[in-house]
Amino acid sequence: MDLTDLMFTLYPYAKSLHIMAVLSWMAGLFYLPRLYVYHVEQAEKIEALQPVFLTMEHKLLKLIMGPASIVTWSAGLFLVFTPGIVDWTYVWPWTKGAAVIAMTWFHHWLMYRHKNFAAGENKLTGRQYRMMNEVPTLLMVIIVVSVVFKF
């Protein structure tokens, strides 16, 4: 069995793993900005809540979102490099790729925001975090439409 045959054999497993990891990653990307809203609007008023929010945010980032993003990227790259799966003459792989890179940037932006919270240096409001909460939804729409319609 050569490498191409092996990749075709493993393809459905990698695709399943990719979908499960994306679901986990997206759940975190949807929830963390909402936690930041509550952190700004509640925990900064009640000092005892500050460590509770910091712990929840940290665990979401490190135990769920971090591993899920790594598995998403790893399985996704396996799918992309499986011969004959992606036709690079279409627009869809490029729009999906750009949206995934933007999603990764957003994840890192959320990590940076957490560091600001931990240092007591948050400057954003609950309203600003609510607006940023829409970013993963927009990126998800771009990714799903790209993959389903393959334009």
- Mean pLDDT of the region 65-82: 97
- Mean pLDDT of the region 32-60: 92
Enclosing domain of residue 21: 3-149
pTM above 0.85, yes or no: yes
Residue whose entry in the numeric block shows the structure tokens 């979908």: 19
Rounded to the nearest integer, the mean pLDDT of the chain is 95
Please count the structural domains in the chain: 1
Q: Is the predicted pLDDT of residue 17 greater than 70, yes or no?
A: yes
Query: Would you state the pLDDT for residue 43?
Result: 78
